[in-house]
Amino acid sequence: MTSIRPSQVKRRSQLARRHIELGAEFEHCSNLIVVKDYGSQTEVDQAKKLGLADLSTLPRIGFKGTGAPDWAAYHGVTLPQQPNTSAVQKDDSLVAKLSHQELLILSDLGVTSTQIERLEDSPIAAQTYALPRADSHCWLAVTGNQAAEMFSKICAVDLRAHKFANGEVAQTSVARANSIVIRHDLGSTPCFYVLTDASATEFLWDCLLDAMAEYTGAPVGVSALRTLS
């Protein structure tokens, strides 16, 4: 049992029960609750090898439309140069360009970035509309030196380093679920953010754990990811 429970906040991950069953320790992060760790003293080492983290309670949003890129740039967003690439922002949030007219913005792991909140509070431009990615998509992170090899079993794209560089984005199938995969390394450790339809959250989590079993992969908390970054 933990002193902090997912039921204490309005927004919680669809995987909350699984985390509790795994002995997760939760922490408040801004006004959210995330999995800090699962009680292991070796989670950083696990994350370096092959780990799976649930980031679904962290802030994220999308913007789409012909006016979206110029509007975002006007409000201080550093835009990736090409579609299917991403750019780290000054406040450590991450912006992925899914097409010439669509952006996906993800919070930093400590939820200290202000860009999402600032954009949400800014008057929307003509020919631009917001996409509620926090409601529509789950957000998982697969980390470790064996991650790309593991993905070869369930992903349609070759995610090895010489094929899929840090900062690249793939809109592809993961375990037959339409997904957005963003390579966002944590220091020297490969990290892949995976976002897919929220209705497939539990399915994708289970499929990833199943695919990771061969490599002794395991769930890790956000604390290990922060240490690596």
Q: Which pLDDT score, from 0 to 100, does residue 6 have?
A: 72
> What average pLDDT does range 159-179 have in this prediction?
97
The torsion region of residue 145 among left (phi > 0), alpha (psi -120 to 50) and beta comes to alpha
What distances in angstroms separate CA 158 from CA 140, 161, 173, 225, one per listed residue?
19, 9, 11, 23
Q: Which pLDDT score, from 0 to 100, does residue 171 have?
A: 98
**Mode of pairing for the β-strands spanning 51-54 and 218-219:** parallel
Judge whether residue 114 has pLDDT over 50.
yes
Q: What is the pLDDT of residues 52-105, one digit of tens each?
A: 999 999 999 999 999 999 999 999 999 999 999 999 999 999 999 999 999 999
Percent of the chain whose predicted confidence (pLDDT) is above 90 = 93
Taking the C-alpha atoms of residue 161 and residue 19, their distance in angstroms, rounded to an integer, is: 30
Taking the C-alpha atoms of residue 106 and residue 95, their distance in angstroms, rounded to an integer, is: 6
Q: What pTM did the predictor assign?
A: 0.95
> What average pLDDT does range 174-182 have in this prediction?
97
Domains defined along the chain, listed by start: 42-58+135-222 (3.30.1360.120), 61-134 (3.30.70)
Judge whether residue 44 has pLDDT over 50.
yes
**Mode of pairing for the β-strands spanning 94-99 and 85-88:** antiparallel
